[in-house]
Amino acid sequence: MPTAGAFATDTRRTRHGARRYPIGAELVEGGVSYRVWAPARGRVAVVLEGAGEYPLRAEGNGYFCGIAPGGAGTRYRFRLDDDRTLYPDPASRFQPEGPHGPSQVVDAAAYEWKDHSWKGVPLAGQVLYEMHVGTFTPEGTWAAAACKLPLLRELGITVIEMMPVNEFPGRFGWGYDGVNLFAPTRLYGSPEDLRAFVDAAHGLGLGVILDVVYNHLGPDGNYLSCFTRDYFTDRYENEWGEAINFDGPNAHGVREFFITNAAYWIEEFHFDGLRLDATQSIHDSSDEHVIAAIARAARQAAGERKVLLVGENEPQHTRLVRPPEAGGYGLDALWNDDLHHSAMVAITGRNEAYYEDHEGSPQEFVSAAKYGFLFQGQLYAHQGKRRGEPGLDLPPAAFVTFVQNHDQVANSGRGLRFHALTSPGRARALTALILLLSGTPMLFQGQEFWASAPFLYFADHKPELADAVRRGRREFVSQFPSIADETMLRLLHPPEDPATFMACRLDWSEFETHRAAVALHRDLLRLRREDPVLAAQKQAGLDGAVLGPEAFVLRFFGENGDDRLLLVNFGRDLVRASFPEPLLAPSAGGRWRLLWSSEAPEYGGGGTPPVETEKGWRIPGHAAVVLAPETGGASQPVEGVPG
């Protein structure tokens, strides 16, 4: 068809110098530079809304490029060969009408950052907070979420872990079915709103890392295969759809797309790192695994800033957190599902489905505290094969510890938070354990005030796909015999129902009305941060022992005998005249004093009896207590606990 004009020579120069990224639309002198990878096509043109069509020049390696008139706000699509259908840019920076609409040019330099002195976030000492922006506030926007950041900072959170924000179809969703990986979703605001959120977090001393999905793309609005089928492969299985082609024919363009995406979020939006979703489904037999390449690119994009790279990996491959020179992929930390599973069995008594290999026993908690993953290569009965890789030498901070995350809350069928599935005392004791362990703790949004809102699986899809998603969700949760009962299945919330999504929005009035829960989390995080022994996260910095059927002790080693005891009892009161256990022995000539208790009245507890006396021990049931030497202790007293 006729064109509106010919391109000027593409010098691939922007107002900032060399073109920043190899794909996408960028502002240049005299217009906008477009570059797209479409090796399956012979001709590509950019079609500007109301401003004509401009052919792109073929570079000969599958890329097409050119400069057209326009500026920030210009909306455009691509024409591929003689197709009548027009397609959004695979590397679109914004989709104002959703994934099926036109792409929009964004001026990345327009936002005036205030975080010039921000140094990023290292791994040590961090406390993560997983956030779904759409349900974090009633408004469901980045602007509204930014208003809550001072509360999180005051609580003791240090890093926001933001669930995926790239564009996806529909009015609501978790974000894991994203299709425009470079475009912040229009549902939460503009790209500038996202930049302002990160900037505001940095101004408060909070880091922000982004959950990214590089193992699959969503089924609706995914136009990559229209540019080339080489984005995908059938050589590997993937439970969420087609696997990404990172090591097959024409994989160079695919790798560049995803590696560039990682660098883009770090550089243009100042994210402090990434959380990589389901890395076990990122298949690559290349000399350099794409995860290692992504990690390298993310750190290079950060420049002098520290970045935090976290992986989710169900098989527990510890190679992900080993350095490249040791054959690893260079991430910093991995989610510890093992600890979560043991915790849920301990407080609920249920070990169905993927909990079946866990007993919730005291020894499991002692081993998790000392070694991180419980399965490091042993047979895993649930899968009928070995699970995990050796990790006894890994630092404690390399394991992200949690008792709630988006998946695990939703997998409870009715989306109930853990505090609603057990007794208040057990919930407080488990909170203490998770927040005081030497790993990197993570809270899920609302956990800090024991939110009453559930977190359910929700995804707004067109009817045919919505039916398939609903059936798939029903099949997945049916692995739990208790949920597979028809009376329970009838209670499942339809993922496509707007009421399902709305039910998950946090009620922030509970931050005030649930003051005991807030105080519990605030005091524990302060104790973790300010007590020199608990804050150390030392390699081999603790040991533990089983004290009873549901009770155990962890001893954190300080300097010159200034140790801490964490006693956890998920059962009834444990009263003993003596324990033949050396980890309970105080330093020479000393005695233990109570430093903190989950049964303090300020937390809704029923009070704490003397734990150690000349007559023996009384370890309260459904409780956790921290003891310190009489001559040592934290530098500041802890609220609600006698000195």
Q: Which residues are catalytic?
A: 277, 312
* Alpha helices per DSSP H over 204-309: 224-227, 251-268, 290-302
- Tell me how far CA of residue 477 lies from CA of 202, 407, 408, 412, in angstroms: 39, 11, 11, 8
H/E element holding 393? none
Residue 340's closest CA among 403, 255, 251?
403
Q: If DSSP states are collapsed to H, E and C, what string results for 537-606?
A: CCCCCEEEEEEECCEEEEEECCHHHCCEEEEEECCCCEEECCCCCHHHCCCCCCCEEEEEECCCHHHCCC
Strand partners, 613: 616
Q: Which is it for strands 13-14 and 17-18: parallel, antiparallel or unpaired?
A: antiparallel
Would you give the DSSP letter of residue 637?
A: P
Q: Which residue has the tokens 């991995």?
A: 334
Residue type, 48: L
Would you give the DSSP letter of residue 626?
A: E
Distance, in Å, from the CA atom of 2 to the CA atom of 52, rounded to the nearest integer, reads 9
Distance, in Å, from the CA atom of 573 to the CA atom of 29, rounded to the nearest integer, reads 74
Q: If DSSP states are collapsed to H, E and C, what string results for 44-93?
A: EEEEECCCEEEECEECCCCEEEEEECCCCCCEEEEEECCCCCEECCCCCC
Give the CA-trace dihedral at 131, 133, 137, 139, to 10 degrees.
180
Residue 404's closest CA among 417, 393, 414?
417
Number of residues that make up the chain:
643
Strand partners, 596: 626
Strand positions, DSSP E, 85-155: 86-87, 103-104, 128-131
H/E element holding 311? strand 308-311
* Contact residues for 105 (Cβ-Cβ < 8 A; gap 6+): 25, 27, 32, 70, 71, 72, 73, 74, 75, 76, 93
Angle, helices 424-436 vs 337-348, to 10°: value is 160
Q: How many CA atoms lie within 13 A of 352 on its CB side?
A: 13
Q: How far is CA 480 from the centre of its chain?
A: 25
Three-state SS at 220: coil
Q: How many CA atoms lie within 13 A of 148 on its CB side?
A: 25
For the record, the structure tokens of 373 come out as 């993953």
Distance, in Å, from the CA atom of 85 to the CA atom of 78, rounded to the nearest integer, reads 9
Total Cβ atoms within 10 A of residue 585: 12
Distance, in Å, from the CA atom of 126 to the CA atom of 46, rounded to the nearest integer, reads 45
For the record, the structure tokens of 124 come out as 């040590």
Distance, in Å, from the CA atom of 139 to the CA atom of 505, rounded to the nearest integer, reads 9
